[in-house]
Amino acid sequence: MTDWSKQTKAVHTGIRRSQYGEVSEAIFLTQGFVYDTAEAAEARFLQSGPDEFIYARYGNPTVAMFEDRIAAIEGAEDAFATASGMAAVNGALMSMLKAGDHVVSARALFGSCLYILEEILPRFGVEVTFVDGTDLSAWEAAIRPDTKAVFFESLSNPALEVIDIAAVSDLAHAHGAMVIVDNVFATPVFSNAIAQGADVVVYSATKHIDGQGRALGGVILGTTDYIRKTVEPYLKHTGAAMSPFTAWMLLKGLETMSLRVRAQAATARTLAEALASRTRTIYPGLPDHPQHALTMTQMGSGGTVLSIDVGSKETAFRTLNALKIFTISNNLGDAKSIVTHPATTTHQRLPDEQKDALGITPGLIRISCGLEDAGDLLADLQSALT
């Protein structure tokens, strides 16, 4: 089974069939589990043996199927599913940190990730140093002997900077720091983050894993030791559990994820190549991207998202409003192509200087490619830009 490719694992790994032998994974919509005797209840709470479920906040068979499957795809020993991507980011960090610890983080982050590192962790006495994630000498200067963890998005939102997982991991491990990677934009399809040195990978499953805009979900992946001794106690007592119904949708999402994500990435490349001659286009799959070579060795693809800069907020709004196929929203990885104006939505909270530093210019439009025909999408964009 470990020899299987990601795609085979995405269809078969983790199945726990009930006595009925169902083909499609069952949804165990149950909060708890019954015990035949008081002795059996006592034994269950000792957690002896596999599949010893107690309470859905701790674990559930459908959720466990999702955890086993995504862990196999990612090449991680173990996984813990959460109610959202942010619950995963928060759980990965909070479960391992305490007052007095030091964290180094890349500056270019999703708005809510930035809120946790900038606002919440310092309130609990955790010191956070922010660096330009693409600058290895900045990481080297910031990581100290007391640094407990480093955190970054391997492909940042929305500026699409690519961070060298292997090189940053080497620097962090030299000081015994854990490497936590938010890998949403890279997707599990193109990720080799654990093999490249990351200790922990987090996903918002809301994005490409569901890929159809139906549910919020998240997952933390890492060693069995980290997941069971650090993450599980924190999450099972603080309650950000994934719903079994969501886990079922995400299991089905995983089966088609590779097909969807590869098609979306092919479309992103087509759009980026066509738009580059007409407007500033940021796509890691284009040779003019500053980390193009790293992108190709790290991910083998430029991903499913591109950004364009049309110069001003007015032009950006006019472009968004003129689009007929693209939906104005803030999800990504969906079957429906989505356009976002980060400066006024996902990153609105940031002061202008910080937006400038992160490349979130007034004219920046983030484009998440869906599953529509690439020719139709390009025609829609060309006409809206005109």
Binding site for ligand PLP (CB under 6 A): 84-86, 89, 110, 112-113, 153, 157, 182, 184, 204, 206-207, 216, 218
Which candidate, 186, 191, 190, 150, places its Cα nearest to that of 170? Answer: 150
Cβ proximity to ligand PLP: between 151 and 248 the closer is 151
Cβ proximity to ligand PLP: between 332 and 384 the closer is 332
Instruction: In angstroms, give the least distance from the CB of 317 to ligand PLP.
Output: 22
Cβ proximity to ligand PLP: between 201 and 384 the closer is 201
Q: CB under 8 Å to 240, separation ≥6 — which residues?
A: 82, 83, 84, 87, 90, 91
Instruction: In angstroms, give the least distance from the CB of 25 to ligand PLP.
Output: 21
Cβ proximity to ligand PLP: between 169 and 304 the closer is 304
Cβ proximity to ligand PLP: between 110 and 234 the closer is 110
Cβ proximity to ligand PLP: between 89 and 360 the closer is 89
The full length of the chain comes to 386
Instruction: In angstroms, give the least distance from the CB of 132 to ligand PLP.
Output: 17
Instruction: In angstroms, give the least distance from the CB of 356 to ligand PLP.
Output: 20
State the angle between helix axes of 244-275 and 374-385 in degrees (0 to 180), rounded to the nearest 10: 60
Which candidate, 280, 220, 263, places its Cα nearest to that of 89? Answer: 220
Cβ proximity to ligand PLP: between 196 and 204 the closer is 204
Instruction: In angstroms, give the least distance from the CB of 157 to ligand PLP.
Output: 5
Q: Which residues of 63-93 are buried (b: 16+ CB within 10 A; e: fewer)?
A: bbbbbbbbbbbbbbebbbbbbbbbbbbbbbb
> Distance between CA atoms of 90 and 153, rounded to whole angstroms?
14
Q: Kindly compute the dihedral angle of the four CA atoms of residues 85, 334, 193, 294, in this order, to the nearest 10 degrees.
A: -130
Instruction: In angstroms, give the least distance from the CB of 275 to ligand PLP.
Output: 22
Instruction: In angstroms, give the least distance from the CB of 105 to ligand PLP.
Output: 13
Q: Which residues of 129-148 are buried (b: 16+ CB within 10 A; e: fewer)?
A: bbbebbebebbeebbeeebb
Cβ proximity to ligand PLP: between 206 and 337 the closer is 206
Instruction: In angstroms, give the least distance from the CB of 196 to ligand PLP.
Output: 18
Cβ proximity to ligand PLP: between 279 and 354 the closer is 354
Instruction: In angstroms, give the least distance from the CB of 303 to ligand PLP.
Output: 12
Q: Which residue is nearest to ligand PLP (CB)?
A: 85
> Distance between CA atoms of 109 and 52, rounded to whole angstroms?
38
